[in-house]
Amino acid sequence: MNKIEKDLELNATLAEEFVCDAPNEQAQPEGPVANLKYLLVGVLFGIVFVKAEIISWFRIQEMFRLDSFHMYGVIGSAVAVGMLSIFLIKKFNIKTLSGESVHLTPKTFNRGQIYGGVLFGLGWAITGACPGPLFAQIGSGYLAVVVTLLSAILGTWTYGYLRPKLPH
């Protein structure tokens, strides 16, 4: 395949309909009350974030200075448990609460994962937070982080605006 064909194909992929990294794959619609389930999961998740000090700027610094195993242990064991869970869900075809088959969207590779990944990593080191901890830091009373969150929203918007011009 020559370069032009490749570009055309990539453009077609980019122009494709909505692709989300955290998609809602449930076929049945859900009302506001059903959404409270996810609020509750979020609350538990936020408590873990704070209690394990994952939202701490210092813990992120320790991770990138290789001075502590803590964050590597957290991410590593989270991945191990997630992997095992998905393996079991697939193997035993475990259904969702509403009886649907679990649907997993494969990730497709593009060079954005490299460029964007490095840019996010730089921001991670500066802010001491990935998007999840930003919310937990605000809840913990670090109100200055509201500015970080607004800036992250602006960054997301800017990406959407520049997307057709960026290399992928």
Tell me if 10 contacts other proteins by CB under 8 A: no
Judged by CB, which is closer to other proteins: 8, or 83?
83
For residue 67, give the 3-state DSSP assignment: coil
Distance CA(159)–CA(89), nearest Å, equals 35
Tell me if 7 contacts other proteins by CB under 8 A: no
Report the site for other proteins in 55-74 (rule: CB under 8 A). 55-58, 60-65, 67-74
Structure tokens at 116: 């964007």
Judged by CB, which is closer to other proteins: 2, or 165?
165
Judged by CB, which is closer to other proteins: 2, or 12?
12
Q: How far is CA 123 from CA 35, 69, 86, 133, 147, in A?
A: 30, 21, 30, 13, 14
CB of 52 to other proteins, least distance (A): 3
Tell me if 8 contacts other proteins by CB under 8 A: no
Within a 13 Å sphere around the CA of 54, how many CA atoms are in the beta-carbon half? 21
Task: Match 């494969």 to its residue by tokens.
Answer: 106
Report the site for other proteins in 127-146 (rule: CB under 8 A). 127-132, 134-145
Tell me if 9 contacts other proteins by CB under 8 A: no
For the chain, what's the residue count? 168
Judged by CB, which is closer to other proteins: 2, or 91?
91
Among 2, 39, 91, 92, contact with other proteins (rule: CB under 8 A): 39
- CA-CA-CA-CA torsion for 69, 72, 76, 78, nearest 10 degrees? 100
